[in-house]
Each structure stands twice: as C-alpha cells, then as structure tokens.
Amino acid sequence: MPRIAAATIEEHVRQQTERITAAARLLFAQNGFHATDLGDIARAVGLARNSLYRYYANKDELLLACIEEDMAPYLQRLQLLAEEYPDPVERIMAWLGLQFELATGPAHATMELIAEVRESSRELKKQVAHLHAAPNIFLQSALQELRGEKSAGAPVAIQAAMIGGMVLAATGHALQLDTTAQDLVRSELESAVRAIVSTVSAG
C-alpha cells in the first residue's frame, strides 16, 4: 500500500486529486483532450494507471473535475455580485466585467477545456452545460428584475442571448490583442451592452 504522507486520508485524497487535475490540465492544454491518455496523466503524477481509477472513473470525469475546479472561484464571485450590486444595471455591468476577465485572463484555459466537451459524451455535455448555465441564469435574472412587470420588448432570454453572443465575439477578438487593445474592446463591449440594457429599462 502506498505510503500516505498527509496527516489524514482525506487530506491525502485532496492532495492527490489536486495533483491529478493539475497534470491533466497541463496535458490537455499541450496535447488536447482526445489525444491525452489516462496513462499519460498517471505517469505524470507517479501513479499506476489502475491507481488513477481510485480517484476518477474515466477521462470525462477528470475533465469535468478540472472545469469545476477552475470555475469554482468564478461562480463564488458571481454569487456575491447580487449582494454587492443591488442595482440591476450595475449588477449586469459587473457580470460583464467578470465574464470578460474569465474569457481573457488566466482562466481562459478553462474555456478551452469546455470547448473540448463538444465531442465528448452526452452525459458530460449535460453536466458541463448545467455548470455553464449559471452565468446566463444570473444575467436573465438581472434583466428580469430591471424589466419588472413590463411586457413590451424582446423576451429576457433573447436579450440575454444577444448579450452573451456579443461577449463571446468580443472576448474571442480580444484574445488576439495586447492589453491596451483589450481594454478598448472591453470599453466598446460595455457601451454596447449598456445600450441593450437601456432598452430593457425603457421598454
């Protein structure tokens, strides 16, 4: 039986899973998800392949763990925005800043991992879609609060989809630019989103 250096078994498991996800994240980035074998990951952390199965049943489960681990700080910050920004307009703009930061900052690797899911199992797609739905639900909630009882204008889901599409296009472009140019893209994006938001409040 392998020697456990941690103070408790729980701590040992936590340390091992962190080492495994760190190695998996690196290999997925270098070789791509589909070209990376569980044996490669096991060797990177000094485990036998069979030992790796004690922590993750398959590669899909490991990819999901990487995404959840990377998304956790972002989702925690997302939950705090409602408390920090009681005004729905400012909450939406704070959401926008967080989205831009996630997509263009160090956590961009997470977005690339999510892109790998497109060719994975249906169950993994379902689990990641549920995880990835949180930002859209947050945005729709703020838009609905802003609209109130008004019935005029496009449905909130459509407005949220429009904003989401703009964010995706803007951040995809910003990734190819230096920091100064990224700031300009972000400024233009904020202006465009404020224009959409203003139609919601005016509707």
For the stretch 24-53, pLDDT in tens is: 989 988 888 889 999 999 999 999 999 999
Burial class (CB in 10 A: 0-12, 13-18, 19+), 44: middle
Domains in the chain, ordered, with CATH?
1-56 (1.10.10.60), 60-202 (1.10.357)
Which amino acid appears at position 144 of this protein? Answer: Q
Question: How much is the mean pLDDT over the chain?
Answer: 86
For the stretch 132-154, pLDDT in tens is: 788 999 999 999 999 886 655 56
For the stretch 114-124, pLDDT in tens is: 777 766 778 88
Q: Which has the higher per-residue pLDDT, 8 or 61?
A: 61
The percent of residues above 70 in pLDDT, for the chain, comes to 89
For the stretch 168-188, pLDDT in tens is: 899 989 988 998 999 999 999
